[in-house]
């Protein structure tokens, strides 16, 4: 209840009592009522998505004002290694020593984080801005003039929680840069990122990167297992209000309510975007000898369509920009997944790609007609995020009219939990040179390309080995299918599909789709793959 509402109630009560009671008694009752309501108001003061939405709507009605950097050269030109020396002092952590498992740390400005982000704490009695103070930070070996620290601000924040051990604070949320944020669960390490919004991704006009310009973080109560974060988003063509309820755990989740306003026409609006990295893997081996069989934060796009179809699209690192579009009405979910958790798949002791979470968007409500889009960008190394996936609606509202969407983000390593037990999934996709076994048993390459796709899951494991499992395969006119073979896999208790095809024009991609069925019953998700152009 807001204070203006409380004041109105008090005035109304006073008017009624003065009219209908003796003067002395009315005055005493009003004073008592005022005291009670004041006490109630101190506890019931509320901040909500509507408060942020009002600001977003007001911003959308104004001309965009580009943020201006306030950084002196010593911070603006800072190298990454120097920026990494700046640490927030743990003894300054917000809520440290309180009866809550959460603590809030702040990021200093530096490098391309050159515009301050306003960060507020929401308490039971109001909103308090967190003011910059250089004493919050340890600057390591950096030699800094005190004048360079004047009037600076924060670049973002991170949240810690005893995620893995009860006596140790672990970082599990970081909000830093544009509208990017990352979340991990128990025993996970940072991998892919989520974003608030994507605009014109991969269009010739160039991508626009909205930014969270202000945050409001609710002071956590001792009995709460989650943290509530509000954010105000701004960009030349859109504004937005976000409420994010972050819940740490074995699989950490973020419940998002978003209300977006358009300032101007947008070519492509990306809702619930996920950003990841794919360098190489079994479906696209490294062109150079590498002891690691795979190097990626995610290895495929998964989609649960409104008609209950499941689609799996293995990722590529293409030689040129690639865009794949899946028309889906009312999607039930989509995400960039890291399938396969065995260390042997990665062999990396330093970066632990086997511990990087999948990111899954569980939609809520009616999202209508639209598309899930996958963007793959060439990258020479693992330092660049080159994969983007998002939902884009077919119809956008007029300027000033809101887009309201709700969804839950899952950061998980529990792959089977993302599937229906009635639908088997692709366990791996492997690329190979196509060949034919000669009478002397020597395999002779024949100029074809082979794919080995292993499907597994309870629905397959429950079938007898001699079940009549067949494949349903289609491909575009740039390839000829010359082998289509399904066999039982006794190791996985699933089935292996071998496809061999000849590419007609190597400068163009080949689109392939496959699934397994028994009679009229489809047993698996749809394997949807794009063999990239070889140029």
Structure confidence at residue 392 (pLDDT): 97
Q: Provide the angle, in degrees to the nearest 10, between the axes of the packed helices 23-44 and 3-20.
A: 170
pLDDT digits (tens, 9 = 90+) for 156-205: 999 999 999 999 999 999 999 999 999 999 999 999 999 999 999 999 99
User: For residues 178 and 200, what is the distance between their CA atoms, to the nearest angstrom?
Assistant: 15
Confidence grade of residue 9 (pLDDT, cut at 50, 70, 90): very low
- What are the domain boundaries of the chain? 3-44, 49-417, 425-531
Q: Is the pLDDT of residue 13 over 80?
A: no
Structure confidence at residue 45 (pLDDT): 63
User: Please, which residues bridge with residue 359 across strands?
Assistant: 336, 411
This model's pTM is above 0.75? yes
**Can you list the alpha helix ranges (DSSP code H) found in 321-417?**
none
Of 54-68, 209-223, 403-417, 438-452, which gets the smallest average pLDDT? 438-452
The CATH number fitting domain 425-531, selected from 2.60.40.10, 3.40.50.170, 1.10.1740.10, 2.60.40.680 = 2.60.40.10
pLDDT digits (tens, 9 = 90+) for 255-264: 999 999 999 9
CATH class name, domain 49-417? mainly beta
Question: Do the bridges between strand 369-376 and strand 387-393 make them parallel or antiparallel, or are there none, so unpaired?
Answer: antiparallel
Tokens, residue 522: 């489809």
Q: Is the pLDDT of residue 29 over 80?
A: no
Q: Are 403 and 260 in contact (CB under 8 A)?
A: yes
Question: Which residues 6+ apart lie within 8 Å of 524 measured at CB?
Answer: 423, 424, 425, 426, 455, 457, 459, 460, 515, 516, 517
Residues 3-8, mean pLDDT to the nearest whole number: 44
- DSSP codes of every residue in 426-480: EEEEEEEEEEEE-TTS-EEEEEEEEEEEEEESHHHHTS-TT--EEEEEEE-TTEE
Question: Which residues 6+ apart lie within 8 Å of 358 measured at CB?
Answer: 298, 335, 336, 337, 338, 339, 410, 411, 412, 413, 415, 418
User: For residues 127 and 219, what is the distance between their CA atoms, to the nearest angstrom?
Assistant: 10
Confidence grade of residue 6 (pLDDT, cut at 50, 70, 90): very low
């Amino acid at each position: 209840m807001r204070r203006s509402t409380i004041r109105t109630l008090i005035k109304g009560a006073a008017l009624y009592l003065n009219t209908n009671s003796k003067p002395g008694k009315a005055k005493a009752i009003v004073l008592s009522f005022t005291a009670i309501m004041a006490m109630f108001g101190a506890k019931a003061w509320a901040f909500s998505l509507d408060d942020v939405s009002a600001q977003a709507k007001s911003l959308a009605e104004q001309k965009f004002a580009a943020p201006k950097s306030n950084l002196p050269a010593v911070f603006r030109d800072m190298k990454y290694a120097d920026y990494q020396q700046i640490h927030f002092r743990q003894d300054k952590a917000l809520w440290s020593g309180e009866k809550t498992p959460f603590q809030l740390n702040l990021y200093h400005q530096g490098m391309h984080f050159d515009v301050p982000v306003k960060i507020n704490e929401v308490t039971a009695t109001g909103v308090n801005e967190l003011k910059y103070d250089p004493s919050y930070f340890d600057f390591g070996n950096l030699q800094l003039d005190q004048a360079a620290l004047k009037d600076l601000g924060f670049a973002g924040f991170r949240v810690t929680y005893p995620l893995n051990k009860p006596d140790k604070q672990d970082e599990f949320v970081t909000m830093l840069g544009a509208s990017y944020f990352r979340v991990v669960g128990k025993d996970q390490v940072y991998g892919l990122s989520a974003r608030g919004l994507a605009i014109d991704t991969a269009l010739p006009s160039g991508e626009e990167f909205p930014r969270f310009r202000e945050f409001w973080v609710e002071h956590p109560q001792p009995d709460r297992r989650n943290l509530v974060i509000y954010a105000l988003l701004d960009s030349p063509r859109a504004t937005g209000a976000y409420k994010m309820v972050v819940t740490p755990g074995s699989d950490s989740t973020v419940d998002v309510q978003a209300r977006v306003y358009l300032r101007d026409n947008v070519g492509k609006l990306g809702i619930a975007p996920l950003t990841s990295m794919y360098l190489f893997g079994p479906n696209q081996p490294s062109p150079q000898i590498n002891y690691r069989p795979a190097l990626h934060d995610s290895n495929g796009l998964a989609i649960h369509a409104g008609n209950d179809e499941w689609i799996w699209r293995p990722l590529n690192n293409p030689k040129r920009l690639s865009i794949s579009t899946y028309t889906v009405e009312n999607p039930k979910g989509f995400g960039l997944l890291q399938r396969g958790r065995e260390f042997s798949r990665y062999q990396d002791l330093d970066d632990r790609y086997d511990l990087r979470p999948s990111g899954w968007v569980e939609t809520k409500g009616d999202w209508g007609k639209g598309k899930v889009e996958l963007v793959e960008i060439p990258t020479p190394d693992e330092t660049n995020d080159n994969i983007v996936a998002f939902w884009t609606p077919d119809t956008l509202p007029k300027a000033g009219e809101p887009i309201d969407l709700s969804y839950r983000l899952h950061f998980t390593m529990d792959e089977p939990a993302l599937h229906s037990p009635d639908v088997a999934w692709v366990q791996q996709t492997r690329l190979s040179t196509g060949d034919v076994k000669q009478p002397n048993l020597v395999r002779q390459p024949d100029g074809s390309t082979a794919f080995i796709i292993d499907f597994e899951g309870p629905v397959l494991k429950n079938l007898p080995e001699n079940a009549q499992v067949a494949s349903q395969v289609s491909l575009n006119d740039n390839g000829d299918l010359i082998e289509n073979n399904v066999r039982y896999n006794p190791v996985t208790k699933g089935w292996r599909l071998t496809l061999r095809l000849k590419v007609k024009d190597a400068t163009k991609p080949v689109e392939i789709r496959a699934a397994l069925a028994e009679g009229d019953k489809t047993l698996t998700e749809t394997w949807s793959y794009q063999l990239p152009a070889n140029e």
